[in-house]
Amino acid sequence: MISRLGSAARWLGRGLRARLRRRRTWIVLAVAAAIVGAVVVATGEWVRSEAEPWLFRTYRAVPDRTVAIVPGASIRPGGVPSIMLQDRLEAARVLYRRGRVKRILVSGDNRTRHYNETRVMRSWLVAHGVPADHVYSDFAGFRTLDTMERAARVFRVRDAVVCTQAFHLYRSVFLARRAGIDAVGLIADRRRYRRARRDQAREYLARSLAFADSYLIGREPHFLGPPIPVDGPPQR
């Protein structure tokens, strides 16, 4: 009987210790998640606050700049810009037509032969009245950081208006200014977008990563290359 009671006590002790270990594990995970969440929120808010003074909602309010920068977005089969990308391009086109910018730099993903955001963007602008000689193409804008660093270091952009949707504009202007560009942003939203909530949710983490890339890691663009100044001869 005594041995049975001893065995039961040991079994209960092992179970209690296992439960305590599981509880400690969950507590550690919860604390770690809270810390990560706080870091994401704090760094994202830093990016937002750094960019906010340089964002504008109307064409009239935007100060004159030399270049409009249009970051890439998805394209449809047949070489048609997505609705979101069309709105970015239209914002740049209107700025050019009104004489607020002198050149337009389109930057997008060109990783495969069958998917070329930049070529589609350039074709759309030319088809809508922007002279081809005034449109510059960055075929290595794989990320927003690449777009802005290459704008500054390859295309020698010194001042610019970034044209993109509000959710993306804070990070874009932040990275442009960190790259040394005197950048402002024009909010290109012209409608409600189907995946707006998803894009906004992803952007919180993207802003935190932009903070880390800029202040902690010093991440470089995938490619640089020879200079193609936007105030030089037309790009061929």
pLDDT tens-digit readout, 99-143: 999 999 999 987 777 789 999 999 999 999 999 999 999 999 999
pLDDT (average), residues 32-40: 66
Extract the tokens encoding 127. 């088809």
Write down the CATH number for the domain with range 52-217: 3.40.50.620
Question: Which of 2-11, 41-50, 182-191, 215-224 bottoms out in mean pLDDT, i.e. has the lowest?
Answer: 2-11
What is the per-residue pLDDT for 179? 97
* Residue 5 pLDDT exceeds 60: no
Would you say 78 and 171 are in contact if contact means Cβ atoms under 8 Å apart?
no
Neighbours of 102 (CB within 10 A): 15
What is the per-residue pLDDT for 172? 97
Question: Which of 50-64, 95-109, 203-217 bottoms out in mean pLDDT, i.e. has the lowest?
Answer: 203-217
Q: What is the 3-state secondary structure (H, E, C) of 92-134?
A: HHHHHHCCCCCEEEEECCCCECCECHHHHHHHHHHHCCCCHHH
183 - beta bridge partners? 160
Query: Model confidence at 29, in pLDDT bands (50, 70, 90)?
Result: low
